[in-house]
């Protein structure tokens, strides 16, 4: 079946460090790919998305590129801030799945001043 | 802005009680979802609804039922709560247009349920 594998956490970085959170997927078909973020005490919210191969999603300094050849959608940010501390979820959705998403297990990021 | 609200942020119930979790969205979305979130297990889909009175089982429906009598409201029901249902419950909605594959899901803040 469809699945999403994320880099295991937790990840701890110093402020202004470079961030990469790896995400790879397995899907029968051509999914749309998403990164959601969950700040402490809140629900998930969309961070960015890409709907076809080679698309780059970007938001708040975060970027991810849809790589069909490596079935990956790695999240990157050049300089993290303390306020980026959160749990990050990679997800995919397929047209054949009526809008249901498959989520990764989440990666907890802590940024220290 | 899309708003998804859940009836309670925190709930404490006793084993065997019937529990209702309510979710309301204000964007006329077709799709609504109930997930549970547990440490190390990510988000797991309990039930999904793609229209009023239409529902579909997710990955872990056992011990749960749902109701969608109006488009904006999706209820999760624990018929007889058990301690292994202690968890964070998240409701979400999405527009459901064009097959839904590019839809963003909008989440509520979650209900942390403890069953004693």
Residue B67's nearest CA partner among B37, B28, B32, B16 is: B32
- Per-residue pLDDT reduced to its tens digit, A4-52: 999 888 999 999 999 999 999 999 888 999 999 999 989 999 999 999 9
For residue A21, cis peptide bond before it (omega within 30 degrees of 0): no
Residue pairs between chains A and B whose CB atoms are closer than 8 Å: 70
Range with the poorest average pLDDT among A85-94, A96-105, B25-34: A96-105
SS3 B97: helix
Closest-CA residue of A relative to B33 is A100
Chain A residues whose CB is inside 8 A of the B110 CB are: 42-43
Q: What is the pLDDT of residue B98?
A: 61
- Per-residue pLDDT reduced to its tens digit, B31-56: 999 999 998 888 999 999 988 988 99
Mutate to test the interface with B, among A25, A42, A100, A107 (most CBs of B within 10 A): A100
Name the DSSP letter for residue B9.
Answer: S
Q: What is the pLDDT of residue B111?
A: 97
Bridge-partner residues for A46, per DSSP? A36
């Amino acid at each position: 079946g469809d699945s999403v594998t994320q880099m295991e956490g937790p990840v701890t970085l110093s402020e202004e460090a470079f961030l990469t959170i790896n995400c790879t997927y397995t899907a029968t078909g051509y999914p749309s790919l998403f990164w959601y973020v969950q700040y402490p005490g809140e629900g998930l919210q969309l961070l960015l998305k890409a709907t076809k191969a080679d698309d780059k999603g970007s938001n708040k300094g975060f970027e991810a590129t849809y790589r069909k050849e490596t079935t990956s959608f790695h999240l990157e940010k050049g300089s993290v801030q303390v306020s980026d501390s959160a749990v990050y979820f990679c997800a995919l959705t397929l047209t054949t799945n009526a809008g249901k998403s498959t989520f990764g297990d989440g990666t907890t990021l802590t940024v220290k001043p | 802005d899309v708003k998804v609200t859940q009836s309670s942020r925190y709930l404490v119930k006793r084993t065997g009680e019937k529990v209702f979790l309510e979710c309301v969205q204000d964007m006329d979305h077709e799709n609504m979802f109930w997930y549970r979130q547990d440490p190390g297990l990510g988000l797991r889909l309990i039930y999904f609804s793609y229209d009023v009175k239409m529902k579909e089982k997710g990955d872990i429906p056992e011990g749960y039922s749902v109701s969608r009598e109006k488009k904006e409201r999706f209820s999760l029901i624990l018929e007889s709560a058990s301690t292994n249902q202690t968890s964070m419950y998240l409701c979400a909605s999405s527009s459901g247009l064009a097959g839904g594959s590019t839809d963003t899901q909008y989440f509520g803040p979650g209900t942390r349920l403890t069953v004693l």
